[in-house]
C-alpha cells in the first residue's frame, strides 16, 4: 500500500513534466503539428502589428521548425487537404513576414496596399488603385532597391521551397 502511494507521488510529477515538455515540441505527432501550426499562425495574425524585429526573429525560428523539420517528418503522411493547409500557412507567414519588413517608416506609403492584399484584395479595388500602387512601387524601388532586393530574395527562397513541396505532393 505504501509503495503504491509512493509510486503515485513520484510518477505524477514525472508525467506532468513529460506532458508539458511535449507542448513545446510541435513535431511529436501529425495532428499536433497541424494544430500547433494553425495556432501559431492565428497568434501571429493577432499580434503582427505589435511584433518587434526581435519578436519576428523568434517567430522565424518557430516558422523554420514548422516549415522544414515538421514538414520533412510528416509530409508523406499528409492528405491533400492537410498539405494545402500547410502550404497556406507557409504562404500566410511569408506574406506577413514581408509585410513586417514593409511596415517600417520607409514603407508607410505601401502599408494600406499591403494590408488590402493580405486581407483579400479584390480585382475591382485593384483596378481602381492600380496607378497609385504603381507610383508607390516605383518610388519605393527607386529609393530602396537594395532593401527590397533582400526582402524579396528571402521570400523567393521560401517560395522555392514551397514550390518543391507542392511539386512533390502532386507527384504522389
- 129 pLDDT higher than 80: no
Domain that holds residue 52: 27-171
Higher per-residue pLDDT: 53 or 99: 53
**In-domain check, residue 55:** yes
7 in any annotated domain: no
Instruction: Tell me if 14 is assigned to some domain.
Output: no
Neighbours of 167 (CB within 10 A): 9
On whether residue 21 sits in a domain, the answer given is no
pLDDT tens track for 141-162: 677 667 767 777 777 777 777 7
pLDDT in tens, 64-110: 999 889 989 999 999 999 999 999 999 999 888 888 876 555 555 55
Lowest-pLDDT range of 6-15, 111-120, 132-141, 160-169: 6-15
Number of structural domains found in the chain = 1
Establish if 6 belongs to a structural domain: no
- Residue 5 included in any domain: no
Task: Give a yes or no: residue 152 inside a domain.
Answer: yes
Do the Cβ atoms of 156 and 133 come closer than 8 Å?
no
pTM score, two decimals?
Answer: 0.53
Query: Cell for 155?
Result: 521570400
In a domain, 3, yes or no: no
Amino acid at each position: 500500500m505504501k509503495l503504491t502511494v509512493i509510486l503515485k507521488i513520484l510518477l505524477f510529477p514525472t508525467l506532468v513534466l513529460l506532458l508539458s515538455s511535449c507542448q513545446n515540441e510541435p513535431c511529436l505527432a501529425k495532428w499536433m503539428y497541424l494544430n500547433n501550426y494553425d495556432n501559431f499562425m492565428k497568434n501571429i495574425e493577432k499580434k503582427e502589428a505589435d511584433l518587434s524585429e526581435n519578436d519576428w526573429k523568434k517567430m522565424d525560428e518557430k516558422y523554420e521548425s514548422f516549415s522544414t523539420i515538421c514538414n520533412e517528418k510528416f509530409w508523406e503522411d499528409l492528405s491533400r487537404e492537410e498539405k494545402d493547409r500547410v502550404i497556406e500557412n507557409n504562404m500566410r507567414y511569408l506574406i506577413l513576414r514581408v509585410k513586417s519588413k514593409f511596415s517600417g517608416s520607409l514603407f508607410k506609403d505601401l502599408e494600406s496596399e499591403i494590408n488590402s492584399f493580405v486581407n483579400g484584395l479584390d480585382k475591382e479595388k485593384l483596378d481602381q488603385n492600380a496607378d497609385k500602387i504603381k507610383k508607390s512601387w516605383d518610388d519605393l524601388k527607386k529609393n530602396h532597391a537594395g532593401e527590397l532586393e533582400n526582402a524579396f530574395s528571402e521570400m523567393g527562397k521560401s517560395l522555392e521551397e514551397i514550390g518543391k513541396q507542392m511539386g512533390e505532393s502532386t507527384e504522389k
